[in-house]
Amino acid sequence: MGNSNEVEDALQDGLLCAFRHRSGFKGRCQLLTWVTSIVVNAALMRLRRMRPGVMISIDQKLNREDPPLANRIPDPGPNPEEVYARQERLRILEQKVRSLPRPTGKLSRSAVFRD
């Protein structure tokens, strides 16, 4: 915490919270331990509220020379050319399978397509 006033405020918040919830004290530990844990938690909550959250847009440039973060994050998926090539291979394979002679007897044709 930045100064003694903030520490005093956190202590006061914790003591006030302990007083408000005094009916919740079950006697499973010493009263001082129970109150101390409430005061510590109140101080931690105050610190969390005071901590500035650092957020930047992925479209924001960090330096003038660098591209935005969004341009530096690789797309894990296939690019349009890869998608088209895969579709084309599947189309050709389906044509070839259809052109096979009809099975006779109990034999049948089957195909397994895998990426």
Do residue 68 and residue 39 come from a single domain? no
Cα Rg of the chain, angstroms: 34
pLDDT at 106 over 70: no
Question: Which tokens is 66 given?
Answer: 């660098």
Closest CA to 41 of 30, 49, 52: 49
User: Which bin fits 64, alpha (ψ -120 to 50), beta or left (φ > 0)?
Assistant: alpha
Domain that holds residue 79: 56-100
pLDDT for the residue 105: 55
pLDDT tens-digit readout, 36-72: 999 998 888 888 887 766 666 777 777 777 777 777 7
Domain contains 105: no
Do residue 8 and residue 46 come from a single domain? yes
pLDDT for the residue 92: 93
Contact 39, 9 (CB under 8 A): no
* Single pTM value for the model: 0.43
Higher-pLDDT residue of 87, 26: 87
Do residue 15 and residue 45 come from a single domain? yes
Higher-pLDDT residue of 15, 61: 15
Contact 46, 6 (CB under 8 A): yes
The H-or-E segment that residue 89 falls in is helix 80-98
